Amino acid sequence: MGARDGESGKKGDSRRNGGNQPVPDSNASNYGESAENRYQGLLEATLAGGLAWILGVFITFVTARSTIRDDLRTEIIESVTGDSLTTELVIWTYFNAHTVPTSFPQEGVFRLAQANQNVVLDGTDWEPLLLIVPPLVIAVAGFVVARREARRVDGASLGDHIATGGVVTVGYLVVTITAMTVGTVTVGDAIVRPDPTEAIVRAGLVYPLLFGGIGGALAWLLE
């Protein structure tokens, strides 16, 4: 064999482990692990965002159900539709806690009603305290997912934590749109529901981006 053959043999051996098995490509392995971590983090953040919405509306139901049942709107709408609308009214109230009003058409039985109503902002007793529920549950979700992501990724910066916390927006937006659909009540040709534009923009995007990011920042500060 010539020198070239010898060099070729050495190169071949250098790519083998013990002359039999290929040497693992560490870069490819790290990339695979990184991609898996990213997908896992995205899934966890999405689930956390959805769960934050559900927790927030549950807290609203537990704390405000008696007030909701005594609300004049409840009596009027349920008498017109003939249905119990507790679920829809709780959803409206939780949207109100995001400062998103409930829109009433100015026609039929609703002619004398205010076009945009917010029982949380207009409350006289403890109702305005519900304003802290959405920021609180979203910030907790952002904190948890940022904390978990930081354990998987070494050297995560403040910006990384904020961005990770903000990813809860994905799940929160999905549930926001779903809840807006569930919370739509049709009375004849009239439609009563949370204001669609404000619900999507403010409740579905601005709140989770802002407070999810704050939760992520808190996770970084408390490391």
Task: Look at residues 54, 53, 93 and name the one whose alpha carbon lies nearest to residue 70.
Answer: 93
- Cβ(213)–Cβ(167) below 8 Å: no
Residues in the chain: 223
Q: Give the span between the Cα atoms of 132 and 123, in whole angstroms.
A: 14
**pLDDT of 31:** 44
**pLDDT of 42:** 85
Amino acid in position 165: G
Question: What would the two tokens of residue 160 be?
Answer: 């990384």
**pLDDT of 14:** 46
- Write out pLDDT tens, residues 145-183: 999 988 887 778 999 999 999 999 999 999 999 999 999
Task: Look at residues 151, 197, 121 and name the one whose alpha carbon lies nearest to residue 44.
Answer: 151
Q: Give the span between the Cα atoms of 52 and 218, in whole angstroms.
A: 17
**How many other CB atoms are there within 10 angstroms of residue 122's CB atom?**
12
Question: What would the two tokens of residue 118 be?
Answer: 């917010």
Residues in the chain where the model's pLDDT stays below 50: 3-4, 8, 10-16, 26-32
Amino acid in position 197: T
**pLDDT of 136:** 98
> What are the two backbone dihedrals, phi and then psi, of residue 73, each rounded to the nearest 5 degrees?
-60, -40
Element (H, E) at 16: strand 16-17
Q: Give the span between the Cα atoms of 171 and 165, in whole angstroms.
A: 12
Question: What would the two tokens of residue 101 be?
Answer: 């009003």
